[in-house]
Amino acid sequence: MISENEYKKRRKRLAKKLSSNSVAVLFSSGYKTRSNDTQYPFRQNSNFYYMTGFKEDKSALLIVKKKDDIKVILFVAKKDKKQELWNGKRLGEKKAKKRFLVDEVLVMDDFEVQLKKYLQATKELYFDFLLDYSKVKILKRYAKTLSTHKNIAPLIQKMRLVKSHAEIELIRKAINITKEAHTSLMEMPKSGKNEYELLAELEYVFKKNGAYSDAYTSIVACANNANTLHYIENNKPLKDTELILVDAGCEYEYYASDITRTIAVSQFNKSQKELYDLVLATQLEVMEMIKPHAKRSDLQKRAVELLTVGMLRLGILKGSVKKLIKKEKYKKYYPHGIGHWMGLDVHDECPYKDTDGNELEFKEGMVLTIEPGLYIDKNDKNVPKKYRGIGIRIEDDILITKGGYENLSKAIAK
């Protein structure tokens, strides 16, 4: 678990990035309506959680900076027995004061009064420019005399790039639970079943192990369904001759895992093996390039080269490798990137370039996915018939280490 001291250090680091004589505001998430008077399960705003570790709604964080003097105030929902009867216990102001290492804890009812007080004596306001309008309206009400508004989100997102030891351990835990889920699915008889039965097995194992939510909507895509990259219907019957693309990862204590495996309902045929081996060989070679100071674009370039050469060899593409890459003909069958940052979000909201537009180099402690794939639609008559209707992706979660990399999900069979 992440200690309160680590959250305090994060707030201190963030405060150092703020201008003198400024105020920064972070808000919690709110409940989102599912339909009529029912709501989706609550999930905290990732940037707010990164700075506080607080999981309740109706809360906010205020950082006031005057030269070298920094004050941090956490606002929480007040205790209300009637509301708690229906919606569960609140931590409340008194317990929050004992738990959080901040200068002051106040109830959310006091937020606007405090905001007005501190904004009257400052010049700059930092907040997330993607805030919903109701919260922006509150800020504008008291920020009319400010000279500058700045977006706080990029500052926090950059901090989230390199994971601490505690964060990495939570990601490991999420991946270990996901490993158990994928392994259980691989071992269960699949002939005659439906995609949703496999989905149910994944979700059962997640929740049984304390991962109460998916890191994203799971994909269980049989045969041509795998050629829809974000297929989430998960309701088609399985056939013995087909492959199943399973893209599923749990979230544990807000930290994500993201794993894709492509398996057979019964067994691989020769054509399926040829495509699978090409994707797997590409992934393994690309991963060997990962180390500090390497760049994601170099990984992408090599993946494109390997997949293009392979598709040319199998008769999926025709022409010269150089021209096929230059004209981006490969994109018809490999339309996405080699991977993405992962952490508090499955697609972690961290930058890929610095403020000058230069691509960031890998550093020890960063976590990303590596996920080459090939997707050949069943109706694509430009491809040999034996490959049509096959979609394959293989995805692992990678930690950049001092000497290279660690495949955190290597224990999940492929």
Q: Give tens-digit pLDDT for 140-196.
A: 888 777 878 999 999 999 999 999 999 999 999 999 999 999 999 999 999 999 999
Q: Where are the alpha helices (DSSP H) in 124-163?
A: 133-142, 153-159
Active site residue 356: no
Asked if the domains at 4-158 and 165-407 fall in one CATH topology, the answer is no
Contact 157, 355 (CB under 8 A): no
Q: Which of 56, 57, 195, 247 is catalytic?
A: 247
- Which pair of structure tokens corresponds to residue 42? 């609550």
For 232-268, write each residue's pLDDT tens digit: 999 999 999 999 999 999 999 999 999 999 999 999 9
Superfamily of 4-158 according to CATH: Creatinase/prolidase N-terminal domain (3.40.350.10)
DSSP assignment of 158-214: HHTTSPPHHHHHHHHHHHHHHHHHHHHHHHS--TT-BHHHHHHHHHHHHHHTT--EE
Summarised one tens digit per residue, pLDDT across range 17-40 is: 999 999 999 999 999 999 998 999
Residue 132 has pLDDT above 90, yes or no: no
Residue in 231, 255, 334, 375 annotated catalytic: 375
pLDDT at position 67 is 81
> What was the pLDDT predicted at 121?
83
User: pLDDT value at position 379?
Assistant: 97
293 is catalytic: no
Known catalytic residue at 347: yes
pLDDT digits 0-9 by tens, 40-78: 999 999 999 999 999 999 999 999 999 879 999 999 999
The pairing of strands 243-247 and 250-252 is unpaired
Rounded average pLDDT over 293-313: 98
Catalytic residue check, 393: yes
Known catalytic membership, residue 395: yes
The model scores a pTM over 0.75: yes
Question: Of 167, 242, 345, 371, which residue is the catalytic one?
Answer: 371
Contact 306, 285 (CB under 8 A): yes
Catalytic choice (93, 345, 395, 397): 395
Mean pLDDT over all residues of the chain?
96
Architecture per CATH, domain 165-407, reads as Alpha-Beta Complex (3.90)
Name the active-site residue from 43, 99, 336, 388.
336
Cβ distance 236 to 194 under 8 Å?
yes
Map out the domains of the chain as residue ranges: 4-158, 165-407
Q: Which of the residue ranges 63-77, 109-123, 282-296 has the most confident prediction, judged by mean pLDDT?
A: 282-296
Given this model, what pLDDT does residue 126 score?
94
pLDDT of 344 strictly over 90 = yes
Start-to-end Cα distance in the chain: 30
What pLDDT does residue 414 have?
96
Report strand pairing: 219-222 vs 255-256.
Answer: unpaired
Give the model's confidence band at 340: pLDDT under 50 very low, under 70 low, under 90 confident, else very high.
very high
Q: How far apart are CA 306 and CA 320, in angstroms?
A: 13
Q: What pLDDT does 120 receive?
A: 87
180 is catalytic: no
Q: For the chain, what percent of residues have pLDDT higher than 70?
A: 100
Cα–Cα nearest to 248, from 283, 203, 284 = 203
| pLDDT surpasses 80 at 353 | yes
Chain centre to alpha carbon of residue 44: 14
> Catalytic one among 69, 230, 293, 356?
230
* 149 given a catalytic annotation: no
Query: CB count, 10 Å around CB of 317?
Result: 21
Q: In angstroms, rounded to a whole number, what is the distance separating the alpha carbons of residues 362 and 357? A: 15
Residue 98's pLDDT is what? Answer: 96
Catalytic pick among 258, 345, 396, 397: 258
